Each structure stands twice: as C-alpha cells, then as structure tokens.
Structure 1
C-alpha cells in the first residue's frame, strides 16, 4: 500500500514496534566483540571475556564434547511441546555450570546497545575428530547476574563451506568457521553485559554430532572430541553484532562482509 512502511520490527527489551523500509537496516554497524581468556573460559565462573578491540595475546580454550552427554536445550526457537521443551529467553545458569560450555562476557554496558539483524559468530577452532559441531548462544546478563538467552545457532564442520558439498576436517588443525546465530531485534540495557556461550551441542533443539564421518542414522559408535577455540593475533574469534547506533559504535562497519569473512579450509 502506498505510504505504508515496508516492514515492522518488534524490538525486545523495550517491547515496541518500529517502522522500517529495508532489511537488513541500512544504518546497521556490524561490530565485533572479540573473545579473550587465559585458557580457562569453561563455565560462567571462568575467565572468558568479550572485548571491543582485537586481542593480541590470549590462551586457547579447550573442552571435551561427549555426544552421550550433550548440553541440554534451554529455551530458544523450540517447537511443538512447550511443557517438555519450553521456548523463549530462558535462564542459562544451569547450562553455564557445565565444563563443556565456554563463557565469554563483556563489561557492564555504559549505555543501551540495540542489536537488530543477523548475528554471526566467527570462530577459529580445531578438533580431535574429522567432524563435529560448534554451537553459539548470545546471552543477556542482567545486573543481578541472571543470564537470559537472546538467540543461538550451530555449525557442523563438514558443512562449513557448503551445505551441498561436505568436506571433513583434518584432526587438530585450525579452521575458521562462521556460525549463523539467527536473527533478532533486542536491546541490551545499561548495566547489562553481553555474553557468548560456545560449546558443541544444544540438544534436542539441534541434532547432535556423533563426531564420526558416517551419517547419524547409519552410525552406532559415539566418539568423544577434544575441542579447541583459538582467540589471539591471527585468530580473531568474535561475535559480530548488527548494532543500530544512536552514534557510530567503536569498530563498526556498514558492510557486513568486512566483519563476516568467508570460512576457509
């Protein structure tokens, strides 16, 4: 209809509708928050952090993924059985107590940050197997410490280059991957912290990898995998946020390709 906006966006947090005229929004600033730690980002009690500037020195983080004991789903875009698998922005406290979940958290925000659009997580990873998964969750940590899910996603390594052409990885070799963590419109309020969880399962929301090269339906063997996430000079792992600025944020770019490099290898 002439004169009507092309789309309406519901912004969670303030819980308001806003009229827009294109998607993604032309004023989006794709802004990376870089992963950092001293090699002990496991659990919410670890030393993982998110920083607005690239990290030069940072020890890699490791964990063991056991498909017999996957990370249980806690909220998100689940379907059909809300009493069994509740959807939405659920508390992630229990998940973040697991040693196979890496947790990276920003400092408290001095002002609100609106994230509207596709969320991508660029990770530099290696694994002790020829195929596995890596998961990512964007989380809002409230001032009292309660972590609420915003959006999430997963990437199976064999499909890191294409869904049509599986390519297995070499063991214990670093690869760059891009995890599609979904689309959102959400405001992180002042005093809140932005958090990223990295693991290798989110089950049953996502099918679990058995860490083998055979399809799950044909496989009877489940294999543990030793996973590594690198974040240092040359391996700039980051969550790339589509920030809608009140003013231009630090390090932002109007071109998502600058901050979302193509996965390699």
Structure 2
C-alpha cells in the first residue's frame, strides 16, 4: 500500500515502484541566472547544448534554514510537513528550476534521482536538492529533499574525494522517493543549494571535521548543465 498525495488516496501494488512506472528525465537549463524564484532556471526534456552555469555563494554563517519536510530528531527546531516554499526561493543562494505545466494529470510514484555537475573554490562543500509541486497559482509545496557532502560523493566506504578549483565533478544524490499526483497545470520544480539547516549539519567548507571547528569559509559553488555536463533529475511516472 502507498498513499498518493494530490489524489489523497491509498493505492496498492505488488511492486515498488508500481507496475507501469517508467523513468522520465528532466535536464537543468538556464542562461546562467537561476538564482531565486525570479531567475531563468528551467527543467527541460533535452540537455542544453551549451553550458551557462549557475553560481551561488554558500556562507555557513548564514545557511539556508530548514522549512518543513520529513524531519526527525531535531526537537522543536523544525516543524515538519509541506509548506509553500516561495519565501525560501527569494534567497540568492537557492537555484530554482521549474518545468512547463503538465498537460494532463501525472502520477509520480517511486524513486527520484538527482545527478548534478558541480564545481567549487572550496575543498569540500555540500549539495542539496528539494523537489516541489508548483500549483497553477504559484504555490510551491515541498515533496522530498536530499543532501550530499562532496567529500563522500564516491561512497562512504571509499577514500575521501576532495575538490579542486576549476574542476567539475559529477555527483548523484541519495535517491528521494514520493507518490504525488501532479494535476494538469501543475509543474515540477527543484531547488539546489548547499545547506538545509538544522535538518542537516552545516558543512564549514574547510575539509575538516566540522564538529570541532570554530569557523568556516565561504564557498563559491557552481552548477553546470549542458550536453557535456547533463545535470538532471529522473522521476518515476506511472502511466
């Protein structure tokens, strides 16, 4: 059994994802100005030919604050659930990518896999992704979210993988999952940033252990998207 938001009903399937589910990939695209809700970030069905990367500054002294979501073990620091994310999307350290409206109602049930191409002037930093259902009137409700510390991008059982300035690194975040019905006129959106605090611990960007450090450094992070660097998010659509 699984509960599908949007339809607001329980459904049954012998498998997960449900039978008839197929992956659909959206590629990140922009003219290099995807910062904030008012930027030009888009989700498209073919990777853009040229790379117009989106840059933002991550300051661990001013992290993106957690707003809703599936939370655990933070006491009263976060209220869990779905909230309109537009006030968060006013921040310039959040990149926003939105699809065209769905022409017909579309059920998305199963894993969601973000793959990003990232560069930074820091030795280590984090990458966050939040998946959102955008209503025709602009309301934007969070569905799920994930994070990846870049030093562990090759696996937690592998040697630490530090970053070098000027190099672009591929990172696949831990799969998210949802069951949500996007009614006709709704749109898929993702936010990309480098913090989601206090749900996830801040990365101080130093390459140190974080928990015993007193100060961090500012990271200038870049998301690349092109045929060479096909940053993307793959959702599971039930036909």
Q: TM-score, normalised by structure 2?
A: 0.95
Shift of 1:52: 1.5
Q: Tell me what 1:34 maps to.
A: 27
4+ runs deviating over 6 angstroms: none
Contact 2:117/2:230, CA 8 A, preserved across alignment: yes
Q: Tell me what 1:196 maps to.
A: 190
Contact 1:114/1:243, CA 8 A, preserved across alignment: yes
Shift of 1:172: 2.6
Q: Tell me what 2:97 maps to.
A: 104
Structure 1: distance between partners of 2:56 and 2:210: 22
Structure 1 residues 102 and 121, CA, compared in 2 at 3 Å: closer, same or farther? same
Higher mean Cα deviation, 149-158 or 181-190? 181-190
Structure 1: distance between partners of 2:133 and 2:162: 34
Contact 1:210/1:223, CA 8 A, preserved across alignment: yes
Q: Secondary structure at the match of 1:115?
A: strand
Shift of 1:55: 1.5
Matching of residue 162 in structure 1 with residue 134 in structure 2: no
Q: Tell me what 2:86 maps to.
A: 93
Contact 1:119/1:180, CA 8 A, preserved across alignment: no
Shift of 1:218: 2.3
Q: Tell me what 2:230 maps to.
A: 236
Shift of 1:57: 2.5
Alignment coverage as a number of residue pairs: 238
Structure 1 residues 226 and 244, CA, compared in 2 at 3 Å: closer, same or farther? same
Q: Secondary structure at the match of 1:85?
A: coil
Aligned pair partner of 1:175 in 153, 162, 169: 169
Matching of residue 134 in structure 1 with residue 132 in structure 2: no
Shift of 1:180: 2.2
Structure 1 residues 81 and 208, CA, compared in 2 at 3 Å: closer, same or farther? closer
Contact 2:108/2:179, CA 8 A, preserved across alignment: yes
Structure 1: distance between partners of 2:163 and 2:18: 36
Shift of 1:26: 4.5
Residue segments in structure 1 that go unaligned for 5+ positions in a row: 1-7, 246-265
Contact 1:133/1:154, CA 8 A, preserved across alignment: yes
Q: TM-score, normalised by structure 1?
A: 0.86
Q: Tell me what 1:125 maps to.
A: 118
Matching of residue 211 in structure 1 with residue 209 in structure 2: no
Contact 2:51/2:229, CA 8 A, preserved across alignment: no
Structure 1: distance between partners of 2:184 and 2:111: 22
Q: Secondary structure at the match of 2:128?
A: strand
